[in-house]
Amino acid sequence: MWASGSTVFTAARFLAPVRRPRHGYRRTRAEVSAPSSGPAPHADSRKKVVVVGAGWAGLASAHHLCKQGFDVTLLESGSGPAEEIGIRGFWRPYRNIFSVIDELGIQCFTNWMSSALYSPAGMEVKFPVFQDLPWLPTPFGALLYPEFLNLPLVDRLTSVPLISAVIDFDNTDTAWRRYDTMTSRELFKQYGCSERLFQEVFEPFLHAGLFAPAEQCSAAASLGMLYYYILSHQKNFDVAWCRGAVEEKILLPWLESMRLNGLKFWENKRVTDFIINEDTSCISGLVCGQEVYKADAFVLAVGISTIQSTILSSPVLQSRQEFLSVLNLAAIDVISVKLWFDRKVEVPNAVNICFGSDDSISWTFFDLNSIYDEYQDELATVLEAEIYYANQLLPLKDEQIVKKVVAYLSGCVQGFKEAIVMQQNVVRHVKSTTHFFPGSYKHMLRGSTTFPNLFMAGDWIVTRHGSWSKEKAYVTGLEAANRVVDYLGEGEFAKIIAVEEDEPHIQTLRSLNRRVNEIRTQIPSFDFFL
């Protein structure tokens, strides 16, 4: 299955690079707009779909629609498919992603790995591989099994009352609207979480998972993310890693397999506007500068910054309030730093979350010698770090950023104090991750829009599935594909694997909570008796 240490690929075609247009070749408006005229007569009669965005969401949509026999064109603003910035690794509840990777026959994952949490004073918590330990009902496994090196048990126990908020937050629209107006900080304070537990455990996790300080994060998003990864099932916190760059090991082979099945892929295409049929209110064409791509249905599977740029240039999207509201959303800056050191430094855990190095900054670092096949035999240490909410570091020179990262690392692992950086690669991902700030939920789009044949996908799109990060992006991509199938009246729906059911005691408590809420709405004075 997915968490194995076997060979990455068995078929040479999966390793082939994506074939790209010859340098300097540019299709004219007529070439793009005209129906294809191949030797197969049935090709002209196929329904056309244009998918925008070659991340997890766009690839999911394109993959299913190609399998259903549609004429699919995939457009990407960059030079190829790219892994979304944000939560790294492949967590155990990513059931739909693991399913498609099994379908593709790609074996590229490590075994499940332990992880650690660091402060400037050193390691604070070590997290085990939870599925190797005896099962405890949620949330007790997450509370008792981690090795807390400094945090007293009395502080850890103050997290127990939070389970009442977890039970009340059932991922419905009502729950999102109720908790989205509150900050994460307010939520934990309201439910009695100790200041030390919050600062040393929950805040670093929220910052690494939502990419911003807790006082700038929605309580609804915090509950959704924490429940999905930590609190719903003991073993959900287990994570495996791709044994190389995700783009090379998964996304490019996936894209190539679709191209072999008829997908048309065009890179460096930025959507600037749409053409609308005034009689039907449907989109008839998508504009990329001087080119027009006509189709029967469209899927936009892009991040917030990209869709906002398109809205600003598109009078068609500006004509709808749902898209104007998207301009109220925000995205977060992330910096990734890859470092090659002059010596071998012993890193206790391959995956590490860190806090307290600088105000408003949380960061993670990964021991690539333990994760990537290509670095396993390296005599020196190769690391990658990601810094979240990094806007204050963006204007710095690469050397200044590297100096800060090495100082951070030295506070976590003593061996880095003497190590010298031999090679570096600094990448600034400007406005690259979704900011789930308090009040953001009401501005986020649903999968369907007021244009009957335009559908949305991405990790910021509202869905009731309950997943998070790349799994959520992938699921919304399948949901968009299903909406296309339904709209066009052709093909079969993609099968979407639901998140694992709540444990029995959580189901019972949520049922009771819903009943209490129903009574509360019917009897205004009911709270007096509680």
pLDDT given for residue 523 in this prediction = 76
Asked whether the CA dihedral 473, 474, 477, 478 is positive or negative, the reply is negative
pLDDT given for residue 44 in this prediction = 58
pLDDT given for residue 468 in this prediction = 96
From residue 524, alpha-carbon distances to 167, 174, 492, 519, 528 in Å are 22, 18, 47, 9, 9
pLDDT given for residue 111 in this prediction = 96
Position 196: which residue type? R
Point out which residues pair with 421 in neighbouring strands.
341
Beta-sheet pairing, 147-148 with 122-127: antiparallel
CB atoms within 10 A of CB 449: 19
- Comparing CA positions, the residue from 345, 362, 357, 368 lying closest to residue 411 is 357
**The three-state (H, E, C) secondary structure of 199-238, written as one string:** HHHHHHHHHHHHCCCHHHCEHHHHHHHHHHHHHCCHHHHC
Q: What is the per-residue burial (b if ≥16 Cβ within 10 Å, else e) of 269-297? A: bbbbbbebeeeeebbbbbbbeebbbbbbb
pLDDT given for residue 518 in this prediction = 79
What are residue 133's phi and psi, to 5 degrees? -110, 155
- Comparing CA positions, the residue from 255, 265, 251 lying closest to residue 63 is 255
CA distance 330 to 222: 17
Asked whether the CA dihedral 185, 190, 196, 198 is positive or negative, the reply is negative
Q: Which residue stretches of the chain have pLDDT < 70?
A: 1-44, 524-530
CA distance 189 to 422: 45
3-state SS class at 423: strand
pLDDT given for residue 340 in this prediction = 97
List, for residues 472-521, the tens digit of each pLDDT value.
999 999 999 999 999 999 999 999 999 999 999 999 999 998 888 878 77
From residue 291, alpha-carbon distances to 269, 272, 275, 346 in Å are 9, 10, 12, 53
Domains and CATH numbers, the chain: 48-84+245-328+440-488 (3.50.50.60), 331-435 (3.90.660.10)
Position 131: which residue type? Q
DSSP classification of residue 243:
S
| Token pair for 167 | 């039970």
Q: Is 80 left (phi over 0), alpha (psi -120 to 50) or beta?
A: left
User: Can you say how many angstroms the Cα of residue 167 is from the centroid of all Cα atoms in its chain?
Assistant: 24
User: Can you say how many angstroms the Cα of residue 393 is from the centroid of all Cα atoms in its chain?
Assistant: 23
Query: Which residues are within 8 A (CB) of 156 and not within 5 positions of it... i.e. 6 or more apart?
Result: 143, 148, 197
Q: What is the DSSP string of 134-185?
A: ----TTHHHHHSSEESS--HHHHHTTGGGHHHHHH--SSHHHHHHHTTSBHH
From residue 324, alpha-carbon distances to 177, 438, 439, 444 in Å are 20, 19, 16, 11
pLDDT given for residue 22 in this prediction = 30
